[in-house]
Amino acid sequence: MKKSLLALAAMTAFAGAAQAQSSVTVYGILDVGFVGSNYSGTSGTINAAGTNGLATAGSAVQKQSTAAFGQSAESTSRIGFKGSEDLGGGMSALFTVELGLAPMNQETTMVGSSTTGSGAQGLLSYNRQAFVGLKKTGLGTVTIGNQYTPVFDVQAATDTAGNNNMVGNAVYSGNLQSATGTFNNGQAPYAPSGSVNVDTGAYTTRTSNALKLQSDRFSGFAGQLFYAQSNQNSTQTGVAYTGAVGGVQNNTAWGVNGDYTWQKLQIVAAYQNIKSVNQNIASVPANNSAQTGFNISNGTAGGGFNGIAFGDNATDNQMYAAAVYDFGILKAVYQYSNRKVSSVVDSSYFTKRSANQVGVRSQLTPTISAFATYGMVNSANFGNGLYGSTQGANGRTYQLGVDYYLSKRTNLYTILGGVNQSSNGSVNPTLTAAQQAANGGVGLNATNYAVGIRHTF
């Protein structure tokens, strides 16, 4: 009898220990409110006289305003699951799965939409993170999957405005926020034929097919190594093939970052490189350089200081650095970002974007905090159809915001952001030099405002 009782007690203790060693947490953010915007500048398409209904080459100017109940102005709505299991000896297994949410969406489908051409999505909008890995106490973690890049990790940790989705952040998103919500998704998934436009952000936010090594903090310093790869080699033989003719598609990304904290000072720096090589092109699309595979695109409404996109046969260099000092009554931040995308074949074909931004955030009362930022952005591009000279634009950005915390998890907010750009910075090789000058001279002005409520769980 005593042996049976001892065995039962041992089994109960073992079961309790097993449950304590493994845990899963559900977390997320729901952010909704009233979002408005005003835009004045060049329209999405810049054409020669008489095309697409434009009377003259210089008439591609538009004004637009939006106002509606929207979502994710301060933080992108999301739901996530993360867990860990104790493997013993200071080792543990961990995982994270995180999806973006679109709480204001009318679609009845949970993921995606069957509405042709609408672009609408379901409640679960996209894969933000999905990775699994191992952690060693006193050393660090290694994870693999769809993950944030080294630049994003340190930029998000030092951004005064908390990486909100409003216009006016010089070192994060370059998009004009609509009433329905737009997000800085970065390049995800990291696909062989994918592309990212420089004017939609200062850097790539996340990639899939990624391996990340993150150290613990030692004497105030923590570092990260990052590598992603998506390569293939295909052939097409025996038949007349009008699409891809076969060849190598090599897509690799690597990066590093460092984060040093000493008393009230924090200094971070990061660099990442994304390279896309595609020899699987049968024909060169319009406005594309046959020699370099470097795509020169038209500007887009909403702007963002650039008009050239990279896709096939390009290398993308991105860097970020920041310093944060805590004065007690407020935190002051200086941020710098630089991004240059060049042709793999001819590096003289490029587009680049650099930005400087200062900001302050203060906890005015135990329940009220406020922030302000001011940034300056410069862009330049050179390539086929640019008339032998570098073109680009300069811009100024700002954001103001106030948070009122009803509790630790729920807050009300109001945010105002704006951007003023000297020109649209875009090019169209079909235009003459005079027509291009007329279109490129059109400036861009955009403001964005939101009042909302955010709940974290």
Residue 3 domain-assigned (yes or no): no
The residues with which 326 forms a beta bridge, in sequence order, are 331
Domain count, the chain: 1
Residue 276 lies in a domain: yes
DSSP state of 284: P
pLDDT at site 351? 75
The verdict on residue 116 lying in a domain is yes
Print burial letters for 200-231: b (CB count within 10 Å at least 16), e (below 16): bbbbbbbbbbbbbbbeeeeeeebbbbbebebe
- In angstroms, the CA 37 to CA 177 distance is 7
In this structure, what DSSP letter does residue 7 have?
H
Q: Residue 82, SS3?
A: strand
Would you say residue 11 lies in a domain? Answer: no
Partner residues linked to 26 by β-bridges: 81
Residue with tokens 């009554």: 329
Per-residue pLDDT, 419: 83
- For residue 382, the model assigns a pLDDT of 66
Q: What is the pLDDT along the chain (457 residues), one digit of tens a residue?
A: 444 444 444 444 434 444 445 789 999 999 999 988 887 765 444 444 434 333 344 445 567 788 888 888 999 899 999 999 999 999 999 999 999 888 877 654 444 433 333 344 566 666 788 999 999 999 999 999 989 999 999 999 999 999 998 888 889 864 444 444 444 433 322 222 223 333 346 888 888 889 999 999 999 999 999 998 877 776 665 555 445 556 677 778 899 999 999 999 999 999 999 887 766 554 444 444 443 444 433 333 223 344 344 456 778 899 999 999 999 999 999 999 998 888 777 677 777 888 999 999 999 999 999 999 999 988 776 654 443 445 566 788 899 999 999 999 999 999 999 888 775 554 444 455 555 555 544 567 788 899 999 999 9
Say how many C-beta atoms besides its own lie within 10 A of residue 194's C-beta: 16
Q: Provide CB contacts within 8 A for 337, sequence distance 6+.
A: 151, 155, 170, 171, 202, 203, 318, 319, 320, 353, 354, 355
- What pTM was estimated for this model as a whole? 0.80
Q: Is residue 144 part of a domain?
A: yes
Give residue 322's pLDDT.
98
360: β partners = 332, 372
CA distance 423 to 32: 33
The H or E element spanning position 269 is strand 265-278
Residue-range definition of the domain harbouring residue 139: 34-236+243-456
Q: Is residue 24 part of a domain?
A: no
Q: In this predicted structure, what is the pLDDT of residue 270?
A: 98
* Torsion on CA atoms 101, 104, 108, 112, rounded to nearest 10: -40
Q: What is the C-alpha separation between 240 and 220, in angstroms, rounded?
A: 61
Strand 206-215 versus strand 140-148 pairing type? antiparallel
- What CATH number is given to the structural domain containing 149? 2.40.160.10
Burial (CB count <10 Å: 0-12, 13-18, 19+), residue 446? buried
Residues in the chain: 457
H or E segment at 392?
Answer: strand 391-405
